[in-house]
Amino acid sequence: MALPVVSVPMKKNKKPSLVLTLSAAGLLIGAGSAAYWFTQRQPSSRNLLVGANIIPGDALFAVSLTTDPQQWQKLREFGTKDTQAELDKNLVQLRDRFLTNNGYDFQKDIAPWVGNDIAIAILAPAAGNKPAPKPVTTNENAAIEQQSMVMVLPVKNPEIAKRVLAQPKTLKQGKWIDRTYQGFAIKQSEGQAGQNFSAVLLDGRFLVITDSPKATERAIDAYKNKTSLATTGGFAENFPKIANYQPFAQFYVNVPAAAKIAAASPNRPLPAQVLAQLQNNQGLAGTMILEPEGIRLKGVSWLNPNSQRLLAVENKAGKMQNRVPAETLMMLSGGNLQRLWGNYILTSQRNPLSPIAPEQIRGGIKSLTDLDLDKDLLSWMKGEFSLSLIPTTPKQGSPDDFRVGLLFMVQTSNRKSAETSITQLDEVMKNQYQFKVQPGKVGGQSVVNWVSPYGTLTATHGWLDGDIAFLVVGAPITDKIVPKPNNTLASTLPFQETVPTEPNPTNGQFFLDVERTVKNFPLPTLIPNQQILLAATRSIGMTSAVSDSRSNRYDIFIALKKVSNTTTLPTPESSKSNSVR
C-alpha cells in the first residue's frame, strides 16, 4: 500500500510547476536547494518539523530533507539504474534552479553556515487576497497563481549567514532592494522576469527565503504572533508521535486544503479514491528513515480537534497472516469490517470525490444477490477480516501455468446469522445464475463448491476453526488453507522483514510481494513512473492502528533493490555540458 501522495501546483505565471511527491522508491520531496534534513534542537520544537514556528499555520504542505551528503548517497544506492537516473535528474534540476543558476555552490556558499536541514512550505492563498480580474480565468488558475513558497534554513553560523545576506550574488536581471517589516531587515529582488525572491534573517537563527514579499511578511507575522504551524490544531500533539533521530525527511499536509487544490488540477496526480480518504482527516504527517534494506515511513493522521467525530480505539487485528500460506502474493487485513463500512458511510456521504456512494454499493449487492448488505452480511462481520491473493502450484513442467485465487476471510460474531445468509447466497447462485451448488471435502473438511454452467469450479466457501467464514474465488487454492498450512505467510522472511511490528496492537496490516506480483500481473497505473519504481521494489508492508479517539498511526516499510557501482551526482559543469550536447 503506497503511502497516500499530494501534489500541490505552484504559481502558474511565476515559475514552472514543482511536483511535490512522496513515492515508494527514489523519493523526491520538495523544491529547494540541494539537501535538507530534520533536527531542530530547541526545547520548544525539538520533536516538530523544522521551521514549524515560522511556517504560517495555513500552509498547504511542508517538508524537510537532510543536508547530510552520506544520507543522500545512501538513498542513491537504492533501486535500479533507472531510478537512480530519475533521482539524479530531479536533484540536478533542483540544484541548478535554486543554486547554480543564481551563482551559488552548495558546498562553498551554503554548507558553511546552514543547519542540518532545511524546510520548504507551500502556502495557501492569503485570506481575502483576491486576484486582479483577467479577460479569461478560472477559479483553479486564481488559486494556483496566489500560492507561494517559503523556505526556512536554520543557521548554525550566524556571522557567515549575515555576510551572505548582506552581499548577495549579482542578479542576471533586476536589482536587490532593502526594506524593513516588523523590525526585520528584508533583502528582495526587483525587476526579475517571472519571479522575485525575498530573504530575511530572523533573530540570527533562521534564514527565510520566499518567492514573494507578501509570503515573507506572512512568515514574519506567524513567527512573531505565534500563528505558525506549531500552534495549528492537532499538529503539536501528533507530530511528536513520529519523531525520529536523524530522519532523511519529514512532511506535513494540510489535508482538506491540499486535497481541494489537487482535485481542481486538470492533471490531477491522485485518483479520486485517495483524495476522498485524504479529506477525511485534518492533518497528515510522516517521517522517512533510510535503513540498510529500504525505506521506513512512520505516519500519523488526525481529525480536526473541534470535530464531533471520534474514532473507536479498537485494535484487534494481526492474526490472518497465520492462516494463509507462505506463497501468498498479497494480504490486506483489518480489525472490524462492519466498523470499516460505518466509517466509509460517514466519510463518503455528500463527498463528491468518493469513488462509489454507499447507496450504490447497497443497491448493487441487493440487485445481484437479493441480500441486504447491512442486515444480512455486515451484521455478523464484526471480527478481523482479510483479502489475499494466493497462486496455485504450477503443474510439473508447466512454469507458465500461473493462476491465482482470491481469498476472503472474516471472523464472525454470530455464526447462526452467517449460515442463514450464506445459505440464501447459495440459493441465489443456484436459482438465479444456474450454478451447481455442490457439497465437497477439502483436507477432510466440509466445503460448498459453486460450479458454473460450463462445468468450471468458480468458488468455494466454508469454515475455519468454527467462527471464520471463507470464500475462494478464481483458481482452486482451498487446499492451501484447509487444513491450516504449516508454512504460513507470517513465518516467511519477506513478511517478517517487510511488515512492521509496530504499532502493536494493530487494527490492520498489508503485505505485497512486488517482484512476483508485477512479474505475473499487469497493475493499473496510479502514479508517474510507476513501472520504474515497481522494478526497484522487492516488497511493501504496512501496519496501522488507532492511536486515540482522534488519530491513526501507520508504519510502512518498502524493501528496495540495490544499485551496484553507484556513481556520484553530476557536477554543475558536467550537467551543463550534457545539456549543450
pLDDT digits (tens, 9 = 90+) for 483-540: 999 999 999 999 999 999 999 999 999 999 999 998 888 777 777 788 888 999 999 9
- Looking at the structure, tell me whether residues 73 and 120 fall in a common domain: yes
pLDDT at 435: 94
Asked if residue 467 and residue 375 are part of one domain, the reply reads yes
Same domain, 292 and 328: no
Q: Does residue 171 lie in a domain region? A: no
Q: Are residues 403 and 452 in the same domain?
A: yes
Task: Please report whether residue 527 resides in a domain.
Answer: no
Look at phi and psi of residue 266 and say left if phi exceeds 0, alpha if psi is from -120 to 50, else beta.
alpha
Of 7, 184, 47, 86, the C-alpha closest to 533 is 86
Measured CA to CA, the distance from residue 99 to residue 369 in angstroms comes to 63
CA nearest to 276, candidates 356, 364, 336, 186: 356
Residue 581 has pLDDT above 50, yes or no: no
* Pair 205, 105 in one domain: yes
Q: What is the DSSP string of 243-261?
A: --SS-SEEEEEEHHHHHHH
Q: Given 439, 473, 502, which residue is the final one in a domain? A: 502
Asked if pLDDT for residue 119 goes beyond 80, the answer is yes
Residues 208 and 297 in one domain: yes
Residue 183 lies in a domain: no
- Percentages helix, strand, coil for the chain, rounded to the nearest 5? 30, 25, 40
Q: How many residues does the chain have?
A: 581
Q: Is residue 120 part of a domain?
A: yes
**Based on the structure, what is the number of domains in the chain?**
2
- What are the C-alpha distances in Å from 190 to residues 131, 180, 197, 412? 20, 15, 8, 68
Q: Which residues are 176's β-sheet partners?
A: 189
Q: 50: which 3 cell numbers?
A: 523544522
Average per-residue pLDDT in the chain? 82
Q: 434-448, pLDDT tens digit by residue?
A: 999 999 999 999 999
Look at residue 429 and tell me if it is in a domain: yes
* Residue ranges making up the domain that contains 419: 316-502
Shared domain for 456 and 565, answered yes or no, is no
**H helical segments located in 58-210:** 69-76, 81-98, 139-146, 158-166
Quick check: is 169 in a domain?
no
Domain boundary among 502, 531, 561: 502
Lowest-confidence region among 163-172, 275-284, 308-317: 275-284
Are residues 307 and 355 located together in one domain of the fold? no
Q: Do 120 and 150 lie in a common domain? A: yes
Check residue 208 and give its pLDDT: 94
Note the pTM of the prediction, 2 decimals: 0.83
- What's the pLDDT tens digit per position in 389-402? 999 976 665 555 66
Task: Say yes or no: 76 and 107 in one domain.
Answer: yes
For residue 113, pLDDT over 50 is answered with yes
**pLDDT tens string 315-354:** 999 999 999 999 999 999 999 999 999 888 877 766 666 6
Residue 59 lies in a domain: yes
Give whichever of 65-79, 131-145, 250-264, 268-282 has the largest mean pLDDT.
65-79
Residues 261 and 269: their CA atoms lie apart, in Å, by 11
544 falls within a domain: no
Residue 193 pLDDT class (50, 70, 90 cuts) = low
Buried b or exposed e, range 366-405, using 16+ CB within 10 angstroms: eeebebebeebbbbbbbbbbbbbbbbbeeeeeeeeeeebb
Q: Give CA–CA dist 295/288, Å, rounded.
A: 7
User: Could you tell me if 301 and 377 lie in one domain?
Assistant: no
480, 502, 524: which is the final residue of a domain? Answer: 502
120 lies in the same domain as 74: yes
- Which residues are bridge partners to 31 per DSSP? none
More confident call, 464 vs 141: 464
Phi-psi region of 474 (alpha: psi -120 to 50; beta: other; left: phi over 0): left
Residue 28 reports pLDDT greater than 50: no
Binning pLDDT at 50, 70 and 90, where does residue 164 land? confident
Rounded Cα gap, residues 432 and 522, in angstroms: 33
Structure confidence at residue 35 (pLDDT):
29
